Amino acid sequence: MTDTNKSSRKKSSKSQSADTNKILKFMGYSIGKIIGVGTYSKVCLAQFTSKEKSEKMACKKINKIIAGEDFMKKFLPREISILQKIDHPHIIKVHNVFEIKEVIFIFMDYCEHGDMLEYIRKHGPLSEEKAKFYFRQLISAVEYLHSLHIAHRDLKCENVLLFTKKHIKLADFGFARYCDSQNGTDMSKTFCGSAAYAAPEILQGIPYDPKMYDIWALGCILYVLVTASMPFDDSDIKKMIKTQINCDILLVGFSLWKNNSSQLRILLGRLLQPEVEKRATINEVVRSSWLKQKKSSSSSEDEYLDIINN
């Protein structure tokens, strides 16, 4: 490519960017720094200003050319459809979606306190009461999704965002899908999400129930909350599958977690159950003794109040 062509392309790109910014400004939006990067997208800090209000938002920018045909025709329409349908206090709310030239803009809630993985890395493992405080909120979100026959399929600590210090919101619906049909559960064959949170049936390439995948991932998240470590090492998938199927991590964990309640250990056993038909449903999780228990007898009032203040 000649220097003249390169210069021409740069000018064209700058012109398109300026035009896009003018359109965004007319609609009340301004785009700031990048705060996250995905496979086909960037998430930026944004500001929306109108006569009535001014508020910070997050903006997911998806470049249609980079994303490719399969993503644009299959995954993105599904994600946008689901995001526009759902409304729950513990799920990221989408405020606007529109397209300018080759870029799709999705404006949504901004969670300024980061994600749960960052929080765990900073504070270490959570007390059982604090883990329960956050996990109840996450379960509420997943229960809502499953009631609408929607599976998230990418549940992980990185997608659990802290809207405030005591209010979490579930994010990133790029792999979410509807999973009901006239004949029952609509099984999935697509590998989605992170291997570290993947259930054994997915790692083995078996068609899977998307909702049961969510349940397994919830078990991984709960494990991380109370141990500040991942339950499974995904650097060796064959070894990981063997560990999952043999329930090795739970056998070791049960002997080490003497300070945690039996109700917590029982729930983890139902969530990280390798046999799908024995794994808990979301309704069973909601009714579990551990979540229904308001406050363990071993926890002090000061510890419980610390959940709210930190």
* Ligand-binding site membership of 165 (annotated): no
Q: Which CATH class is domain 25-108?
A: alpha beta
Do residues 288 and 280 make contact, with C-beta atoms less than 8 angstroms apart? yes
Residue pair 139/282 in contact by the 8 Å Cβ criterion: yes
Please give the Cα distance from 60 to 45 (Å, whole number): 9
DSSP E strands, the chain: 29-37, 41-49, 54-63, 94-100, 103-108, 150-151, 160-164, 167-170, 177-178, 180-181, 184-185
Q: Which CATH superfamily is domain 116-309 in?
A: Transferase(Phosphotransferase) domain 1 (1.10.510.10)
Residue 148: closest CA among 85, 241, 64, 204 = 85
Please, which pLDDT band fits residue 71 given cuts at 50, 70 and 90? confident
* Entry field: residues in the chain: 310
Q: What is the mean pLDDT of residues 125-142?
A: 97
Structural domain boundaries in the chain: 25-108, 116-309
Q: How far apart are alpha carbons 164 and 119 in whole angstroms?
A: 12
Q: In sequence order, what are the beta bridge partners of 216?
A: none
pLDDT on residue 39: 75
Dig out the tokens for 237 from the structure: 């998938």
Which residues have CB under 8 Å from 61's CB, separation 6+?
Answer: 31, 41, 42, 43, 44, 103, 104, 105, 106
pTM: 0.86
Per-residue pLDDT, averaged over 38-53, amounts to 88
- Looking at residue 205, its pLDDT comes to 94
| Mean pLDDT, rounded, for 228-234 | 93
Model confidence band, residue 147 (pLDDT cutoffs 50, 70, 90): very high
| 183 pLDDT higher than 60 | no
Query: Residue 157 pLDDT more than 80?
Result: yes
Distances (CA, A) of 159 to 96, 249, 294: 20, 23, 26
To which residue do tokens 């398109």 refer?
Answer: 16
pLDDT for 272 equals 95
Window from 8-17, 94-103, 107-116 with minimum mean pLDDT: 8-17
Q: Select which of 87, 109, 115, 154 is catalytic.
A: 154
Task: Tell me if residue 154 is catalytic.
Answer: yes
Q: What is the Cα–Cα distance from 48 to 57, expressed in whole angstroms? A: 7
Average pLDDT, the chain: 86
